[in-house]
């Protein structure tokens, strides 16, 4: 049993806490109590990685008019493909200084639908990730809400105009309230603690390669989540199929 706990811990690169280790063991046909799993993990000195604080990424876009919160902290819609939440975080590199990561994540399945990494935290940077999300989901007009904080990239005319052009409803949280975009910040924190903060990074190319492996292979397809009934985001979506209009 101790070897099984250690095997999960190492296979998941120290990213799983006790509850997810227990759930992963159950997926492998070994059902044990949480207390026993915790004792065996502690006895072997196994520790989960922990998050570290980083710099503030939200730069308010000034006087925002006509911006509405359509989510209202209700971040769990009835099915995938209805709400995407998005946020930007920083990643330090030795050669290029701060680089930036923007995510668009499904509020129901928690799948990271699209992402972009770059050296400039501007509106075109965010729009590139938005285009990838639109290409992935191909939503019908009025079907999809994109929720963000009031960062200048999301309150810009260019971002809002592209949303309206695609039939997407832009939604923003209230000024100064981190809870209004809590799920996006939680996803950022997961990536920070399970990947970014574990090492130093040489440059943007190295960051991109690592992010691709973590997001596309580990996070979306292999990392089980308690909120999804200990399924991965891809497994959850397979159980909640949503029909979208095919992209032209």
CATH number of the domain residue 206 falls in: 3.30.420.10
User: Is the pLDDT at 63 greater than 50, yes or no?
Assistant: no
Q: Residues 86, 104: contact at Cβ < 8 Å?
A: yes
CB count in 10 Å sphere of residue 15: 20
Rounded (10°) angle between helices 2-11 and 18-27: 100
Is residue 55 classed as helix, strand or coil in its secondary structure?
coil
Rounded (10°) angle between helices 123-137 and 157-165: 10
pTM for this model (two decimals): 0.74
What average pLDDT does the segment 82-105 reach? 96
pLDDT tens digits, residue range 193-246? 999 999 999 999 999 999 999 999 999 999 999 999 999 999 999 998 754 444
Query: In terms of domains, do 108 and 196 share one?
Result: yes
Q: Residues 173, 180: contact at Cβ < 8 Å?
A: yes
pLDDT tens digits, residue range 21-34? 888 888 888 888 88
Q: Hunting for tokens 């920083």 — which residue is that?
A: 90
**Residue 246 domain-assigned (yes or no):** no
Q: Residues 145, 116: contact at Cβ < 8 Å?
A: no
**Residue 48 domain-assigned (yes or no):** no
Query: In terms of domains, do 136 and 219 share one?
Result: yes
pLDDT tens digits, residue range 128-142? 999 999 999 999 999
Query: In terms of domains, do 39 and 93 share one?
Result: no
**Residue 52 domain-assigned (yes or no):** no
Q: Residues 4, 30: contact at Cβ < 8 Å?
A: yes
Q: Domain residues for 195?
A: 83-239
Query: In terms of domains, do 30 and 88 share one?
Result: no
Query: In terms of domains, do 21 and 95 share one?
Result: no
Helix (H), strand (E) at residue 89: strand 83-93
**Residue 78 domain-assigned (yes or no):** no
Mean pLDDT, rounded, of the chain: 85
What average pLDDT does the segment 88-109 reach? 96
Q: Which residues of 149-163 are buried (b: 16+ CB within 10 A; e: fewer)?
A: bbbbbbbbeebbebb
Count structural domains, the chain.
2
Supply 18's token pair: 């006790």
**Integer angstrom CA distances of residue 242 from 12, 41, 139, 169, 170:** 29, 39, 10, 18, 21
Query: In terms of domains, do 104 and 11 share one?
Result: no
Query: In terms of domains, do 194 and 114 share one?
Result: yes
């Amino acid at each position: 049993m101790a070897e099984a706990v250690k095997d999960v811990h190492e296979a998941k690169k120290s990213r799983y806490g006790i509850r997810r280790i227990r759930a992963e063991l159950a997926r492998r046909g070994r059902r044990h109590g949480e207390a026993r799993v915790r004792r065996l993990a502690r006895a072997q000195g196994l520790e989960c990685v922990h998050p570290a604080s980083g710099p503030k990424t939200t730069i308010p876009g000034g006087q925002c008019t006509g911006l509405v919160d359509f989510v209202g902290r209700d971040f769990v819609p009835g099915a995938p493909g209805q709400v995407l939440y998005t946020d930007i975080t920083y990643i330090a590199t030795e050669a290029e200084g701060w680089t930036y990561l923007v995510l668009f994540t499904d509020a129901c399945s928690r799948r990271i639908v699209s992402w972009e990494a770059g050296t400039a935290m501007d509106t075109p940077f965010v729009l590139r990730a938005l285009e990838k999300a639109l290409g992935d989901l191909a939503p019908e007009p009025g079907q999809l809400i994109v929720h963000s904080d009031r960062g200048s990239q999301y309150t810009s005319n260019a971002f809002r105009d592209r949303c309206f052009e695609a039939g997407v409803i832009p939604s923003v949280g209230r000024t100064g309230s981190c809870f209004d975009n809590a799920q996006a910040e939680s996803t950022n924190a997961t990536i920070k603690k399970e990947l970014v903060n574990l090492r130093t990074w040489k440059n943007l190319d190295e960051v991109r390669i690592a992010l691709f492996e973590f997001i596309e292979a580990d996070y979306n397809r292999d990392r089980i989540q308690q909120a999804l009934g200990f399924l991965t985001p891809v497994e959850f979506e397979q159980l909640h199929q949503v029909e979208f209009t095919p992209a032209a």
